[in-house]
């Protein structure tokens, strides 16, 4: 079973953000804090790509998730305006 079988994606991301990222943000300066609007989950249709050493291939992931990343930053801009 996957992590989303019992929870919605939003619920899971909120839980992860509150329990992990928010705590890390408390110790960081504003410029490097991770905003909630930019946290997303990978999908089965577009799994995160890794190389033979199991290192995440950032550029390939950025290409695969370009639309989602752009949407996240649009949401962030909207949230900062309000």
* Cα distance between residue 50 and residue 35, in whole Å: 25
**pLDDT at residue 73, as a whole number:** 93
* Cα distance between residue 47 and residue 61, in whole Å: 9
**pLDDT at residue 65, as a whole number:** 97
**How many angstroms separate the most distant Cα atoms in the chain?**
44
Q: What is the pLDDT of residues 30-72, one digit of tens each?
A: 889 999 999 999 988 999 999 999 999 999 999 999 999 999 9
**pLDDT at residue 30, as a whole number:** 84
Pick 74 or 80 by higher pLDDT: 74
Alpha helices in the chain (DSSP H): 9-16, 22-26, 58-64, 66-81
Classified as helix, coil or strand, 56 is: strand
Q: What is the pLDDT of residues 1-37, one digit of tens each?
A: 566 667 888 899 999 999 999 999 998 888 899 999 9
């Amino acid at each position: 079973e996957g992590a989303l079988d019992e929870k919605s994606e939003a619920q899971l991301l909120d839980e992860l953000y509150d329990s992990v990222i928010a705590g890390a943000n408390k110790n960081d300066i504003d410029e490097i804090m991770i905003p909630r609007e930019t946290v997303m989950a990978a999908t089965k249709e577009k799994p995160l790509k890794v190389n033979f050493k199991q290192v995440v291939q950032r550029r390939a992931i950025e290409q695969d998730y370009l639309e989602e990343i752009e949407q996240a930053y649009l949401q962030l801009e909207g949230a900062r305006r309000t």
